[in-house]
Amino acid sequence: MKRRDFFERSGCGLAGALLASLGTVSCQRTPDKGSPPSSPEGPTPTERAAAELSARKEAVRKLLVEKMGKTTPEADSIMADLEKKLVTVKEKCICETCPSALPEENETGFCHAFIGRSKIIKDERGCDCGQCPVHQEMGLKFGYYCTRGSELERESAEA
């Protein structure tokens, strides 16, 4: 994980990380109001997955507004559309049958902006994205989403 990603995900800025290293402040996000406190052992896998999805959604919103020049209402509309499409992607995705897939990878739907590239798959050993019903129905144009990122990320990189 890159330092910048760590700081963004942990809720620390550079100054906060420095103060945390000196032991003067804790460099952790405070729980949202109304959310139950996490257990002393740390967050459960479900809580971690929810936090990762939330962080991913925020990163997508930021990408839409800051990098792709969308207005807030446009970004909200795109985010709502992505939310609806996530269910379809999860239902129809064929990632687990792909030659690049690994048995320990539990995620699918890497083409979707809320999921993005795999944290586990690193080697490209073939790509079945072109044969995926999701790819065809949504008119996607790329492949190797598991190692190269979602359609939205790659479109923004091209722009």
Given this model, what pLDDT does residue 158 score?
A: 79
Given this model, what pLDDT does residue 84 score?
A: 94
- Long-range CB pairs of 85-89 (<8 Å, 24+ gap) are 85/112, 85/138, 86/112, 86/114, 86/115, 88/134, 88/137, 89/115, 89/134
Token pair 């990320």 is found at: 153
Please report, as a single letter, which amino acid is at residue 104: E
Are the C-beta atoms of residues 27 and 10 closer than 8 Å to each other? yes
From first to last of its 159 residues, what are the pLDDT tens digits of the chain?
Answer: 454 444 445 555 544 544 455 554 444 444 444 555 545 677 888 898 889 999 999 999 999 999 999 999 999 999 999 999 999 999 999 999 999 999 999 999 999 999 999 999 999 999 999 999 999 999 999 999 999 999 999 988 877
Q: Report the C-alpha gap between 50 and 38 in whole angstroms.
A: 13
Domain locations along the chain: 47-158
Please report, as a single letter, which amino acid is at residue 113: A
Dig out the tokens for 114 from the structure: 């809320």
